[in-house]
C-alpha cells in the first residue's frame, strides 16, 4: 500500500527487532550509584551465579530452594 505521493505507508514498513536494536541506542545512566551497580554484582547475585554454574546445586535449588542448596554445596 502506497500513498498517492509514492512513499510506502508506516503500517507497511516492518523490521526485525534485532535490526532495530542495532540503531536505537539506550540512554546511558547518569547516576553514579546506578553505574556502580551495573559494574559490580551484589553478593546475592554472585551466590546465584555460583550455584547456577554448578549443575548439582542448580538442580537441587529447583527442588528444595536456593539457600538450602547453596548451603549444602558451598556453605
- The answer to whether position 55 is within a domain reads yes
**Residue 33: pLDDT over 70:** no
- The answer to whether position 3 is within a domain reads no
- The answer to whether position 13 is within a domain reads no
Least confident stretch, 5-14, 37-46, 63-72? 5-14
* Element spanning 37, H or E: helix 32-39
- The answer to whether position 30 is within a domain reads no
Query: By the 8 A CB rule, do 51 and 69 touch?
Result: yes
Write the Ramachandran bin of 73: left for phi over 0, alpha for psi from -120 to 50, otherwise beta: alpha
* Residue 55, CA distances (Å) to 24, 28, 38, 73 in order: 37, 35, 26, 11
**Residue 52: pLDDT over 70:** yes
Q: Which domain holds residue 46?
A: 42-74
CA distance 32 to 39: 11
- The answer to whether position 57 is within a domain reads yes
- The answer to whether position 59 is within a domain reads yes
Q: What's the mean pLDDT in 24-41?
A: 67
Q: What's the mean pLDDT in 40-58?
A: 92
Q: Structurally, how many domains does the chain consist of? A: 1
Amino acid at each position: 500500500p502506497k500513498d498517492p505521493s509514492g512513499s510506502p505507508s508506516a503500517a507497511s514498513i516492518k523490521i526485525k527487532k534485532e535490526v532495530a536494536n542495532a540503531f536505537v541506542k539506550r540512554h546511558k545512566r547518569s547516576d553514579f550509584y546506578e553505574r556502580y551497580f551495573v559494574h559490580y554484582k551484589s553478593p546475592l547475585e554472585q551466590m546465584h551465579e555460583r550455584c547456577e554454574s554448578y549443575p548439582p546445586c542448580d538442580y537441587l535449588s529447583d527442588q528444595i530452594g536456593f539457600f538450602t542448596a547453596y548451603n549444602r554445596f558451598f556453605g
